[in-house]
């Protein structure tokens, strides 16, 4: 089979690698891919949101299956267009992607179907939103409604902060057309439960945890994710069963009932609060960097799984035992401004897996080319061993402009 993977990050590198382990994958393309992906696939210079060019490429090369990584491609309807052309594709339609792209859609769905989540209200008017915030308690959570690449959530701890954020979201045009979801602030351990979903058929992947803050001890600004690991000791079998029944399965059924059945990966961003497990957000795709620690544990055939879902069938999947732990190497300055083009040496001595996030080849050398540069993923019987192994391997990588967190996974074994 010929497989096309859309996207260019660490998530897509992990997808391409999982696909490359399948004997069914005779040829793999990535659009646009990256320097790491290029070792496993043929990279074609098509932007992930250039739907017509992607359709034309898939037809010309007689691609048998396309797997979509990024939400941006889903939100512009890449799945709808591929299906119109009779092309097989793994991912949700534009309408089903609303579960991620519209916070208001997701919240209304959860309320209607009694899925546990934070209380909320939606506003388009600045004065009404401020009045609501003044009546409530602090901290308060303000979410811009729309795709905002993780930048649309503000946790305001003072009235001044809330006012400034609401001004940005509703009075300035900084974020585009304005609508804000204001939520109750929840506390607890966060975790990611990704499931293969084909209509009402739901199959879970191992639970993972992201680390969103830039520095150790969850300090510093929010990022695209500085590391992740599986499994999570604080998510019990009972928690898992509860989340599957009352959150993931219920939402899959709700999407069918609402006339926009979901196919692809439904990502539950969940929190274990003192009042039980609640939804923080849904994503309509594989998480990044969770995918980089989850897919290495996929023992069964990845192409079979993606194909089954694309055909609206329940996939059969098998996972290996043990722990995986991934540490991101990011450019100094990230998530703020940073310089690119620093030479990276020593990756060939690394035994763990490396997934590239933002690298390039320049004059025959591997160089940094993004904020998050690569993720080093170790597998071991225990998390503690996996962390030690990842850190040992990171010490072999030489580059003048990288930093990483040293505490990924630590709260699971401290
Ligand atoms: P989101 O983009 O919705 O995932 O929000 C980004 C991050 O903000 C989440 O990963 C949480 O850490 C935090 N967050 C979002 N909603 C809430 C909430 N209701 N209570 C507490 N923290 C939240
Ligand atoms: N790891 C969070 C996300 O993929 O959105």
CATH number of 189-310: 3.30.470.20
Residues 3, 4, 5, CA angle at the centre, nearest 5°?
Answer: 120
Read off the pLDDT of each residue in 42-67 and give the average, rounded to a whole number: 98
For residue 289, the CA-to-ligand 2 centroid distance in Å is: 7
- Indicate if ligand 2 lies below 6 Å from the C-beta of 283: yes
Q: Encoding tokens for residue 168?
A: 């940005």
- Indicate if ligand 1 lies below 6 Å from the C-beta of 269: yes
Q: Is the pTM of this model over 0.85?
A: yes
What are the sequence ranges of the domains in the chain? Answer: 2-91, 125-178, 189-310, 323-413
Q: Which residues pair with 5 in a beta bridge?
A: 30, 67
Q: pLDDT tens digits for 133-178?
A: 999 999 999 988 765 544 478 999 999 999 999 998 888 766 666 7
Read off the pLDDT of each residue in 103-109 and give the average, rounded to a whole number: 92
- Indicate if ligand 2 lies below 6 Å from the C-beta of 288: yes
Q: Give the per-residue pLDDT at 149.
A: 43
- Indicate if ligand 2 lies below 6 Å from the C-beta of 287: yes
- Judge whether residue 110 has pLDDT over 90: yes
Q: Give the per-residue pLDDT at 147.
A: 55
Q: Which ligand is nearest to the CA of 144?
A: 1
CATH number of 323-413: 3.90.600.10
- Indicate if ligand 2 lies below 6 Å from the C-beta of 292: no
Q: Give the per-residue pLDDT at 146.
A: 60
Read off the pLDDT of each residue in 221-235 and give the average, rounded to a whole number: 95
- Judge whether residue 413 has pLDDT over 90: no
- Indicate if ligand 1 lies below 6 Å from the C-beta of 118: yes
Beta strands, E only, 199-273: 201-204, 209-210, 213-215, 219-222, 227-230, 263-273
- Indicate if ligand 1 lies below 6 Å from the C-beta of 148: no
Residues 241, 285, 196, CA angle at the centre, nearest 5°?
Answer: 45
For residue 403, the CA-to-ligand 2 centroid distance in Å is: 20
Q: Give the per-residue pLDDT at 318.
A: 98
Cα gap 320→307, rounded to integer Å: 21
Mean pLDDT for all residues in the chain? 95
Cα gap 150→148, rounded to integer Å: 6
Domain with residues 2-91, CATH architecture? 3-Layer(aba) Sandwich (3.40)
- Cβ–Cβ < 8 Å for 315, 35: no
CATH number of 125-178: 3.30.1490.20
Q: Which atom belonging to ligand 2 lies closest to the Cα atom of 290? A: 1
Taking the CB of residue 356, how many other CB atoms lie within 10 A of it? 27
For residue 283, the CA-to-ligand 2 centroid distance in Å is: 8
- Indicate if ligand 1 lies below 6 Å from the C-beta of 225: no
Read off the pLDDT of each residue in 200-205 and give the average, rounded to a whole number: 98
Q: pLDDT tens digits for 347-405?
A: 999 999 999 999 999 999 999 999 999 999 999 999 999 999 999 999 999 999 999 99
Q: pLDDT tens digits for 238-279?
A: 999 999 999 999 999 999 999 999 999 999 999 999 999 999
Q: Which atom belonging to ligand 1 lies closest to the Cα atom of 210? A: 10
- Judge whether residue 61 has pLDDT over 80: yes
Domains 189-310 and 323-413 share a fold: no
Tell me which H or E stretch contains 138. none
Q: Give the per-residue pLDDT at 179.
A: 84
Q: pLDDT tens digits for 14-26?
A: 999 999 999 999 9
- Cβ–Cβ < 8 Å for 372, 223: yes
Q: Write down the H helix ranges in 323-382.
A: none
SS3 166: helix
Read off the pLDDT of each residue in 58-78 and give the average, rounded to a whole number: 97
């Amino acid at each position: 089979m010929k497989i096309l993977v859309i996207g260019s990050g660490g998530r897509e590198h992990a997808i391409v690698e999982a696909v490359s382990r399948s004997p069914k994958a005779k040829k793999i393309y990535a659009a646009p891919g990256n320097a790491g992906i290029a070792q496993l696939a043929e990279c074609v210079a098509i932007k992930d949101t250039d739907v017509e060019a992607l359709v034309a490429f898939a037809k010309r090369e007689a691609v048998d299956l396309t797997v979509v990584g990024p939400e941006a491609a889903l939100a512009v309807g890449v799945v709808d267009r591929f299906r119109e052309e009779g092309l097989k594709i793994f991912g949700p339609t534009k309408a089903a992607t609303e579960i991620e792209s519209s916070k208001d859609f997701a919240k209304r769905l959860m309320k209607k179907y009694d899925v546990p989540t934070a209380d909320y209200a939606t506003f388009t008017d600045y004065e009404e939103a401020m009045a609501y915030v003044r009546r409530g308690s602090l901290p308060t959570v303000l979410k811009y409604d729309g795709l905002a690449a993780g930048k649309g959530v503000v946790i305001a701890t003072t009235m001044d902060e809330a006012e400034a954020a609401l001004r940005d979201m509703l009075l300035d045009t900084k974020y585009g057309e304005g609508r804000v979801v204001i939520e109750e602030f929840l506390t607890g351990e966060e975790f990611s439960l990704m499931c293969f979903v084909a209509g009402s058929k739901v199959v879970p992947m191992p639970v993972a945890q992201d680390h969103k803050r830039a520095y150790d001890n969850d300090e510093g600004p929010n990022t695209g994710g500085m590391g992740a690991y599986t499994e999570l000791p604080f998510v019990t079998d009972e928690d898992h069963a509860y989340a599957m029944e009352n959150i993931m399965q219920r939402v899959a059924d709700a999407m069918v009932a609402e006339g926009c059945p979901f196919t692809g990966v439904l990502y539950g961003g969940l929190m274990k609060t003192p009042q039980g497990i609640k939804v923080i957000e849904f994503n309509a795709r594989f998480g990044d960097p969770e995918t980089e620690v989850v897919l290495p544990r996929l023992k069964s055939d990845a192409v079979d799984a993606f194909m089954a879902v694309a055909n609206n069938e329940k996939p059969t999947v098998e996972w290996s035992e043990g722990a995986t732990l991934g540490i991101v190497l990011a450019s100094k300055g990230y998530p703020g401004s940073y310089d690119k083009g620093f030479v990276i040496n020593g990756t060939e001595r690394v035994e763990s897996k490396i997934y590239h996030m933002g690298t390039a080849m320049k004059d025959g050398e591997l160089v940094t080319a993004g904020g998050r540069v690569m993720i080093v993923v170790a597998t071991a019987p225990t998390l503690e061993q996996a962390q030690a192994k990842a850190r040992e391997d990171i010490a072999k990588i030489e580059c003048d402009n990288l930093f990483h967190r040293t505490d990924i996974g630590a709260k699971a074994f401290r």
